[in-house]
Amino acid sequence: MTKKEKIVFTCLLTFLLLPNIIGTFVATDLLTFGQRILYLITSVCIYALGLCIFKRRTFFYVFSAWFLLSAIEIVHLIINQATTSMLFIFTCIKSEKGEFLELLSTYWPVVILFFILWGIYYYLNHRFIKNEYIAPHKWRMSALITIVSFFVVSIIMLGLRPKFRNMFNFRERDERTAAWVGCEKACPVNMVLGFYHIVSLALEIQRQEKALSDFRFGTEIINQKSQITNPPIVLLLVGETSRYDHWQLNGYERPTSPCLMARRDQLISFDSVFTVGNLTTVCVPYLLSRATPDNPRLYYHETSVVDAFHEGGYRTAWIADQSFNNEFLMRIANGCDYAKYVTDNGQGDFIDSVLLDPLHHVLNDQKANQMIVLHSLGCHFKYSERYPDSFQQYTPDMKGINIREMIRQVDEDAEGFARLKPENMAIYKNLKTILVNSYDNAITYTDYFIDQVIRELEATGRPAVLVYVGDHGENLLDDDRNMFLHGTYSGSKYEYHVPLFVWASDSYIKLHQSKWSAMQDNTSKCFSTMTLFHSLLDLGDLQYSQIDSTLLFTQPTLVSQPVIYGFDANMVRIPLPVK
C-alpha cells in the first residue's frame, strides 16, 4: 500500500472500530479489566477475520452494512454508558413511532454526523483503497486459523458459565469465565446475538400462544352491573428480593415503612406467607399460575391469572423494569392490552420510580375494569443501586464502597463465610452492618414507591385494591451459617418467608366488607404464595368452575397449612422452613 492508502485504510478501520473503542473506555457493564481486554481483542478479531477473507475495498463495502449497528451502539453508549442490551434492541423494535422520532430528535446531531461520516467513508474507500488482499495467502490463512481458534475458545468458555449464580458469585472460583463475557458484548456480536435471541424468544412465545390458544378458564364477572358504572382496579405489585422481617409494618425495629404505617387503616399484612422457591425465575411463574410443586409444569399447559382476568372482561397491563427474556413472563406481557418494559435511560439512578409514568398512562383509561402487574427491581442486590442518595437513612451503606473486594477480604478460602478466620471477624462484622444498612435503605425506598403507586390509584377515584408480595427473600449473614444473597442450595427461612399485604381504597372496602373482614381474620394463617391465583380473581369479583376456596385468603374458608412444600435451588421438592 502507498503511504496515502495506508492513512486512509487506518482512518476507515478506526471508523469501523469507533463504537468498540468508545465502549472499551465508557461501558460500565464491562466490570473487570479482563472483560475490557477480551472485548477489545474480540472487536479487532471480527474485522481482522473480514480482512482475511475479503479484498480491502470489498471488505470496507461489506462491513459498511454494519454502520447502522455501529450508530445504535454509539447512541446506547452515550445514553446508558453500557453496550447495547437485548432489552434496548427489543424496545427499539417494539417502540411506537412517536418514541422513535423523539429519540432521533433528541440525538439529531449524532444522526447527522453519522450520515456525513458514512458519505465520507464511501468516498474514501472508492477513491483511495485498492481491491487487493491485505497480505499474502499464507499469512492470511495463519491469521484466519488463529482468529477462528480464539472464537472457538470464547464459545467454550462462555458455555461453561453457571446458569444460576448463588451466594458465592463474588468469589474468585466463580469468576474463572467472567472475563470472557467481554467477547459477547463486542459490537456487532452483541447486536447480532441480541437480535437472534429476540427472534428465538418471539418464536417460542408464538409457539406457546398457539399451544394455549384454545385454553379457557371460563372466568366470569360476578357483579357486572356495578362494575360497569364504577370499574375496579386490581393491581399486583411483585416485589423483588423482599424479606418479611425487615418491614417495620411486620414488627421490624427500624422505621423502614413509614408511608405504609400511616395507611394502616387501609392495609392488611399477613404474618406467615411463604414463597415456592428462592429464585425469581422459579417464584414468579408460580405466583401467576395454578402450578404447584406437585404439578410443576402446569404453567406450560395453562394460561396465567393475568389471562384469566383478560378472559373475564378486564383490560390488562404488564409494566416491568426487570425479568426481560423470561419466556413465560413475556408471553403473559405479550397477551396484555398494554405492555411496557422500562429500560435504563442512563440519566441517573435506575430505580422503581421509572414504573410510575407508564402506570399513570394506563390508569388514564377510566372506562374499563383493569388488572395491572408491576414487576419491580425492589431490593435486588446491589442494594445501594435500588434507592437514590436521599434515602441513605442508614449508614455506612454500600454507596461508594467496593463491596466485592470487601467480601474477598473476609476469607478468600472459605466456602461462603461458614469457616471464618479469627483475624477477619472485624471485617465480617463491618460487612454485615453495611449490607443490612443498604438493604434497609432499599426497603425504605420500596415503601415510598408503593405509597406513590397507591397515590396513583387514589387519584382515579375508583374502587382499587393493591396486592404486594415478595417473590423471595434474602440472606444477610443472619446466623452461624453466614448465608448471603438468595438462590442458596440449602435454603433458609429468610429466603422463603416473604411479605404479603393488601391495600384497598375506601370505596373498595365499602363494596367488599366481607372480604376485608375475612382477610383481617386470616392474617395469622400459614399459607403459600400459590394462593395468589385464586385470591386475585376473588378480589376482582371473578369466578370460575375450578376455584379452590381453601386457597382464598380473601375468604373464611382459607386453610392454614402445617407443612408447605416448595423447591430448593436444584428444583427438588422440599418442605419449607416455616418455623
- Would you list the DSSP string of 328-356? HHHHHHHTSSEEEEPPP-SSS---GGGGH
Per residue in 451-472, pLDDT (tens digit) is 999 999 999 999 999 999 999 9
* Average confidence (pLDDT) over 498-514: 96
Q: Given pLDDT bands bounded at 50, 70 and 90, which one contains residue 578? A: confident
124 is a domain residue: yes
Is 246 a domain residue? yes
**Is the pLDDT confidence value at 391 over 80?**
yes
- The span from the CA of 497 to the CA of 370, in Å, is 29
Q: Which tens digit of pLDDT belongs to each residue from 331-355?
A: 999 999 999 998 775 555 689 999 9
Domain harbouring 311, CATH code? 3.40.720.10
Which DSSP symbol is given to 166? Answer: -
Task: Tell whether 409 is covered by a domain.
Answer: no
Question: What is the extent of the structural domain holding 265?
Answer: 219-389+440-518+529-538
Q: Which pLDDT band, with edges at 50, 70 and 90, does 159 fall under? A: confident
The pLDDT of residue 99: 54
| The predicted structure's pLDDT at residue 357 | 94
What is the reported pLDDT for 415?
47
Residues 292 and 234 in one domain: yes
pLDDT in tens, 58-76: 999 998 877 777 878 887 7
The answer on 223 and 171 residing in a single domain is: no
Residue 229 lies in a domain: yes
Domains in the chain, number: 2
Q: Give the span between the Cα atoms of 78 and 66, in whole angstroms.
A: 18
Which of 201, 236, 267 is a domain's end point? Answer: 201
Cα 574-575-576 angle, rounded to 5 deg: 105
Residue 9: other Cβ atoms inside 10 A:
21
The Cα 180–Cα 159 span in angstroms is 10
State the pLDDT at residue 211: 87
Does one domain contain both 173 and 116? yes
194 and 258 share a domain? no
Both 124 and 245 in one domain: the answer is no
Do 189 and 227 share a domain, yes or no?
no
Task: Give me the percent of the chain exceeding a pLDDT of 70.
Answer: 87
Q: Could you tell me if 21 and 123 lie in one domain?
A: yes
Least confident stretch, 195-209, 218-232, 384-398, 476-490: 218-232
pLDDT, tens digit, 9 for 90 and up, residues 520-569: 999 999 999 999 999 999 999 999 988 899 999 999 999 999 999 998 87
Which pLDDT does position 328 carry in this prediction? 87
Average pLDDT over residues 178-207: 85
What residues contact residue 221 under an 8 Å CB cut-off, 6+ apart? 227, 312, 313, 369, 541, 542
Cα 562 to chain centroid distance, Å, stands at 33
Lowest mean pLDDT, pick from 16-30, 171-185, 287-301:
171-185
Per cent of the chain over pLDDT 90 is 56
Q: What is the pTM of this model?
A: 0.80
For residues 36 and 97, membership in a common domain is answered with yes
For residue 284, CA distances in Å to 159, 239, 277 come to 26, 10, 9
Q: What is the number of other CB atoms lying within 10 angstroms of the CB of residue 56? A: 20
Same domain? 127 vs 37: yes
The verdict on residue 330 lying in a domain is yes
List Cα–Cα distances, 43 to 36, 50, 64, 114, 147, in angstroms: 11, 12, 15, 20, 11
Domain-embedded: residue 123 = yes
173 and 266 both lie in a single domain: no
pLDDT per position as a tens digit, 67-101? 777 878 887 787 778 888 776 777 666 655 555 56
pLDDT band at residue 400, thresholds of 50, 70 and 90? confident
Do 93 and 230 fall within a single domain? no
d(CA 476, CA 161): 25
Q: How does pLDDT run across 555-570, given as a tens digit for each residue?
A: 999 999 999 999 887 7
When pLDDT is averaged across residues 469-476 and rounded to a whole number, the result is 95
User: Is 416 domain-assigned?
Assistant: no
266 plus 294 within the same structural domain:
yes
pLDDT band at 377 (very low <50, low <70, confident <90, very high): very high
Tens digits of residue pLDDT in 429-454: 788 899 999 999 999 999 999 999 99
Residue 277 inside a domain? The answer is: yes
